[in-house]
Structure 1
Amino acid sequence: MLDNMPRGTICIEDIEIGMVRHLRKEVTDRDIELFAEVSTDRNPVHLDEDYAQETIFEGRIAHGMLTAGLVSAVIGEQLPGHGTIYMGQTLKFLAPVRPGDVVTAEVEVTAIDYGKRRVTLDCRCLVKDKPVLKGEAVVLAPTKKFD
């Protein structure tokens, strides 16, 4: 399941404070396994149900950075979109994401420096309207002008 807004690019000249974009995705066992393979993070709390049952989470959870990657997808595909360069990101993990959870990743423009082409975005992920991640990103937005 993947539900998101149109992909593409919003150039710095067209970005406004308060703009919001999101995507919604179900986190699957396959997603977790692929993330473990790509990242080489094979912590058993993500991959071994018996092990995970004995942790504070009482069951398997997705990698926090897999969830954060959904924020990256919104930024890189929607707002600002293609051509965006990450300058920095802060993250706070508030609750676990489990296999089968549907995550809504959302970014909102909170500040714009048109001269430097920098955009500050409030970032959040929710599962059933419950915050599971929050943070802030600063990105270099694409421009219509060619330097």
Structure 2
Amino acid sequence: MTSRRYTLVRCMGLLVLIPGCATTPGDVRLHADGMPMSEKCPEKALEVMRYLRLYVGESAWVQLDANQSRAEHITLHEGPIESVLDQDIGTLEAPLRLYGRVWTGGEQPVIRYYAAQFLSGGDRVPICAVARLGFGQLRKRPESKPGTAILDSPRAGVYIVDEFR
């Protein structure tokens, strides 16, 4: 393990021990169509992101579903999601896991990430990030059934945020 990664893992382990660090993904009020309303990023996640030098607007590529990586089309299901970061973002070195939640009620899914974890193990650390693709590229295919989103691409951009909108 590199010296940089060793230091990050030790520091992240200490931050995770701080009470109240865990977020409860999905405890979000929903619109009538089942899509999530705005949600503040928890203070502990903002603190961890400042420490890890994860700044709002930074982005990288992510495999949306760890179980369907590199597939031509993927189906996302409403609920928890585990993604894999393909590129470094801030001081987080790829590959690493991102954990979050998917909502599929609208024309395109909403994907919010609440935690990150190195593939080599260690504790999950709180973050706030979203998956996005421009030009409507994250739009669901018409044959998507309720509670699912069939997408043309297994990848998207992941963006660091300070609030979910």
Fold agreement, TM-score > 0.5? no
Tell me the TM-score normalized by structure 1: 0.28
- Whose radius of gyration is greater, 1 or 2? 1
More helix as a share of residues: 1
Tell me the TM-score normalized by structure 2: 0.26
